[in-house]
């Protein structure tokens, strides 16, 4: 068996071969070591499901540290002023907050973003899906991402937020630029583009909030602007960050889950036949699509308290851990035959939506969008085949395809 250093040498997130298929390398590293130090990113990296699942819920760690430490106290540099717009976009994001701010903000958002509000979208989601698939059916070959998943997800979230669908193209462009900031190897040009997109998105959202205050409706941005709980309300920066993260996280996760998942289905025709034969329900299929080829491969947390030990390794305050979701979702200690794509596995306890206080607030909406899409595509195109082998975007953290050409 290769030495641990040999495995780590192959863990290069800029390597296109790794990006094309990271799982053999991730499997080797996970079986060789549950935790390792990454000199390139200065992080402890976790590889196994139980350690990652536990760490997602460990309150001695957090997504942020500014609620308890200054940058100097934490031994970290101050935020780069060149990316001020991106940092402003992050400032009140639910993904970047810790209690008490996170508790307060999530409580207020959940008063608006309720299961009932999501359930009321079912007919609209079905209608958007039907219309886009009608257009796909007019072509012999179509791109599942560009022709369906992207316009579908952004139109659904626009309808929920109360954003004009005419602005969807700008929203897509901003989202695609901003999420590249989360990559481990993002260069200055990528960061500059992300910061510019964040600034434009912030200005757009501020204008939208002002409009909703003058012309309120019963949609999400308008409701966020007037939500109240025992006299507590959301500030404009909080509404801006919340609106942006709901669109970015929801859109990217839905699109990439559909793309990665349908690529897997086309490579496993027996599993596709289980769907078309009605053996497996679309709601069950969603869970395997989220597990098998994770749209989010890595998630990070800071150690905030003394005494944290993971897999026998003491981790100091001020150090960061990176959790390899793609590795955890293929851990044989947790999943039977984890490298087997089993569309009927139906295990919702995966970590595709994270865990702990940062469990994805949009999970019910994502599951509804995905199940509706799977059911409709299966019903419309039971003989679907892959028209060309797709390529993944050259990014590791956010995993998704450039396009997915299918023949009906």
Domain membership of residue 75 (yes or no) is: no
In a domain, 43, yes or no: yes
The pair of structure tokens assigned to 92 is 């009140």
Residue 117 confidence (pLDDT) above 90 = no
Phi, psi of 103 (to 5 degrees): -60, -45
pLDDT of residue 366: 93
Report if residue 184 sits inside a domain.
yes
Per-residue pLDDT at 2 = 43
Given this model, what pLDDT does residue 250 score?
79
| C-alpha separations of 29 from 25, 47, 328, 380 in Å | 6, 7, 11, 41
How far apart CA 16 and CA 395 sit, in angstroms, is 9
Q: How many domains does the chain have?
A: 1
Which has the minimum average pLDDT: 67-71, 245-249, 256-260, 287-291? 245-249
Q: What tokens were used for 292? A: 């098998």
Nearest to 112 by CA among 295, 253, 234: 234
State yes or no: pLDDT of 9 exceeds 80: no
Containing structural domain, residue 341 = 4-65+80-407
Q: Quickly state the pLDDT bin for 4 (edges 50, 70, 90).
A: low
Q: In whole angstroms, give the CA distance from residue 256 to residue 149.
A: 8
Q: Alpha-carbon distance 359 to 53, whole Å?
A: 11
> What residues contact residue 329 under an 8 Å CB cut-off, 6+ apart?
49, 291, 292, 294, 335, 338, 350, 351, 352
The CATH number given to whatever domain includes residue 246 is 1.10.630.10
Whether residue 70 is contained in a domain is answered as no
71 in a structural domain: no
pLDDT at 63: 94
401 within some domain? yes
Query: How does pLDDT run across 347-376, given as a tens digit for each residue?
Result: 999 999 999 999 998 899 999 999 999 999
**5 pLDDT higher than 70:** no
Across the range 260-277, mean pLDDT stands at: 98
Residue 6: the pLDDT is 66
74 part of a folded domain = no
Average pLDDT score over residue span 50-61: 97
- The pTM assigned to this predicted structure is 0.93
Whether the predicted pLDDT of 380 surpasses 50? yes
Under the banding of pLDDT at 50, 70 and 90, the label for residue 15 is very high
Average pLDDT of span 175-196: 92
Q: CA nearest 174: which of 238, 245, 239, 125?
A: 245
Instruction: Give phi and psi for 243, each to the nearest 5.
Output: -60, -45
Percentage of residues in the chain having pLDDT higher than 90: 78
**Within a domain: 178:** yes
Q: Is the pLDDT of residue 1 over 70?
A: no
DSSP of 254-308, one letter per residue? HHHHHHHHHHHHHH-HHHHHHHHTTSS-HHHHHHHHHHHT-SB-EEEEEE-STTE
Low-confidence winner among 99-103, 135-139, 250-254 (lowest mean pLDDT): 250-254
pLDDT at residue 123 in the model: 93
**What is the percent of the chain where pLDDT is above 70?**
98
- Range name among 144-153, 178-187, 305-314, 330-339 with the lowest pLDDT average: 178-187
């Amino acid at each position: 068996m290769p030495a641990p250093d040999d495995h780590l040498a192959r863990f290069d997130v800029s390597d296109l071969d790794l990006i094309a298929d990271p799982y053999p390398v991730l499997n080797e590293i996970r079986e060789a070591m549950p935790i390792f130090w990454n000199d390139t990113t200065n992080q402890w990296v976790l590889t196994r499901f139980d350690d990652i699942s536990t760490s997602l819920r460990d309150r001695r760690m957090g997504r942020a540290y500014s609620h308890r430490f200054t940058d100097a106290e934490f031994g970290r540099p101050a935020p780069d002023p060149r990316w001020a717009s991106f940092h402003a976009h992050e400032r009140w994001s639910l993904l970047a907050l810790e209690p008490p701010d996170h508790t307060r903000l999530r409580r207020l958002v959940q008063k608006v973003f309720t299961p009932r509000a999501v359930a009321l979208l079912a007919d609209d989601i079905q209608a958007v899906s039907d219309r886009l698939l009608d257009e796909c059916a007019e072509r012999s070959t179509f791109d599942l991402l560009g022709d369906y998943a992207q316009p579908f997800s952004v139109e659904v979230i626009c309808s929920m937020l109360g954003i004009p669908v005419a602005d969807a193209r700008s929203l897509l462009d901003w989202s695609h630029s901003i999420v590249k900031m989360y990559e481990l190897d993002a260069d200055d040009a990528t960061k500059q583009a992300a910061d510019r997109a964040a600034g434009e998105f912030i200005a757009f959202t501020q204008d939208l909030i002002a409009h909703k205050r003058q012309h309120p409706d019963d949609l999400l941005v308008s409701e966020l602007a007037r939500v109240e709980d025992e006299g507590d309300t959301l500030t404009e920066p909080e509404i801006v960050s919340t609106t942006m993260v709901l669109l970015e996280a929801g859109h990217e996760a839905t699109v990439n889950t559909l793309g990665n998942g349908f690529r897997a289905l086309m490579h496993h025709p027996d599993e596709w036949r289980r769907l078309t034969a009605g053996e497996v329900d679309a709601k069950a299929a969603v869970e395997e699509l989220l597990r098998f080829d994770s749209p989010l491969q890595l998630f990070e947390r800071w150690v905030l308290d003394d005494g944290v030990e993971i897999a026998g390794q003491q981790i100091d305050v001020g150090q960061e851990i990176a959790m390899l979701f793609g590795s955890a979702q293929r851990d044989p200690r947790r999943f039977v035959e984890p490298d087997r794509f089993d569309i009927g596995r139906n295990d919702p306890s995966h970590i595709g939506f994270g865990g702990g206080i940062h469990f994805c607030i949009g999970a019910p909406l994502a599951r509804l969008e995905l199940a509706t899409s799977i059911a409709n595509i299966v019903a419309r195109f039971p003989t679907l085949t892959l028209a060309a082998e797709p390529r993944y975007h050259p990014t590791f953290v956010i995993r998704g395809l450039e396009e997915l050409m299918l023949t009906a």
